[in-house]
Structure 1
Amino acid sequence: MTTNKTHTLFLLWVLLISLTGFGLYMTWHKGLFQWIILTDNTRICVVIVLAFVVGSALAGWRSIYLSRQTQYFEQIRGGFSDFKLGQSICHDYLTHPLAHPSEGQLMAEVMAERARGTHQVGWFVTGLMIKLGLLGTVVGFIMMLSSLEGLEQLDISDIKTLMQQMTQGMGVAMNTTLVGLIGSILLGVQFLMLDRHADKLIAATVDYAHRNVKAS
């Protein structure tokens, strides 16, 4: 972690969101996005999209937070130590008596919780999007099967209506699954980046504490 890389995480998040926004614009421009939303009368796709927006907003806020914590850590390594309590998780760990290697790993666990504890919400939203997609699949197949009721009483004139109902059910099943999978993948990538950056920050802080103890 060098000083000129303290905002790398946030910039990577901005890049990923920009690419996602460009992909969304292209699907909107081609009319695919509108078609998916309008043909889904269960509105599950809308819920999945809203979950993705909320999860991405949380990931953006966390990327800013971790980038700032990385910047604080670089200042600590540069000799600056005038931080308020709770401002820098690295400084709170390094200045706590339990941070000494011989005193155990309690404060390291506290620092780790502060660094990535909120990410559990993001992973929950990621899993929720997959489950909503699977729910849409089940609902879509139920719609298809329900359209087959009274099949023995159908005549030729009812075949067209039956096919439309079956196509609508299949569309709901496929569209919700597609939106849920794509959204969960994109959101999972964001929180994977956050977890990896948090782990690197924690490891660098603990290593810095051990080196200072050995030097003293």
Structure 2
Amino acid sequence: MNAPTLARSTSYNRPIEPLWLEWLTLCGGLAFCTWLLGLKGVWALLLGADPTGLTLVIIVVFLCATLWCGQRSRELQRQRLLLTQPQQARVGEANWAGDYRAALAHDADTAADLLLEHSHGPHGTAWWVNGIQLKLGLLGKVIGFSMLALTIGKMQSFDPAQSQDLLRSLTAGLGVALLTTMVGLVGNILLGLQLTRLDRFADALVADIQRTALAEHGAD
């Protein structure tokens, strides 16, 4: 068996990673944790302790980004399947491997840029959104400590009769600072885990597409 044939066989016979199934499994775990936290009253505590609404914004951003990761994982797995079974391609649907082969006949650099744009281009925006979660958490931290500082600054003198109201105001500011930071960090970690997996799968897909295209070019 010559080298091009061996390269083509290796690429085609490598099992397709179940990226879509992995994402569904992660969503199942997240759904269970969401239900469990709701049962324990954690969501009511988080949302009720944050008058700024930043906690809710972070949760919505994470939810939308996670749904996008699911759609992206399905598309990446579909493109990997089309590499081994091009006959499954439907008219009008994107076929990255086919586009790469067509562009490779004209300019190898342009073909590589086109393939990377297909496979990794949208991930840049997703990583930016992932950073937004962390920044929103830090913004909540700044707002919370600002509320705390303003409350202390308004104190003219310590009145034991007002100690309960003062303690409530101080706790509210501290709660905003800590809770928004915690939610932002957790969302950043979980979304970063998904995006890292997408990037790794996309890297392997690009390598497979280039390997098979070059093997076919060498065989010709």
TM-score, structure 1 normalization: 0.89
**How much has 1:5 moved relative to structure 2?**
4.7
Determine the structure 2 residue equivalent to 1:89.
96
Determine the structure 1 residue equivalent to 2:178.
174
**How much has 1:112 moved relative to structure 2?**
1.2
Indicate if the aligned counterparts of 2:89 and 2:95 stay in contact, CA closer than 8 A.
no
Secondary structure, counterpart of 1:147 in structure 2: helix
Determine the structure 2 residue equivalent to 1:11.
21
- 2, 16, 31: which one aligns with 1:21: 31
Please say if 1:126 is aligned against 2:130: yes
Structure showing greater relative contact order (alpha-carbon pairs closer than 8 Å, 6 or more residues apart): 2
Equivalent-residue separation in structure 2 for 1:163 and 1:56 (angstroms): 38
- 194, 201, 211: which one aligns with 1:190: 194
Equivalent-residue separation in structure 2 for 1:25 and 1:2 (angstroms): 41
Gaps of 5+ in 2: 1-10
TM-score, structure 2 normalization: 0.88
Indicate if the aligned counterparts of 2:54 and 2:136 stay in contact, CA closer than 8 A.
yes
Indicate if the aligned counterparts of 1:86 and 1:92 stay in contact, CA closer than 8 A.
no
Determine the structure 1 residue equivalent to 2:85.
75
| Higher alpha-carbon deviation: 195-204 or 206-215 | 206-215
Letter in 2 for 1:56: T
RMSD between aligned residues: 2.1
Letter in 2 for 1:99: L
The residue correspondences of 1:26-105 to structure 2 (distance < 5 A) are 26-76=36-86, 80=87, 84=91, 87-94=94-101, 96=102, 98-100=103-105, 103-105=107-109
| Higher alpha-carbon deviation: 145-154 or 165-174 | 145-154
Gaps of 5+ in 1: none
Letter in 2 for 1:106: T
Equivalent-residue separation in structure 2 for 1:122 and 1:5 (angstroms): 27
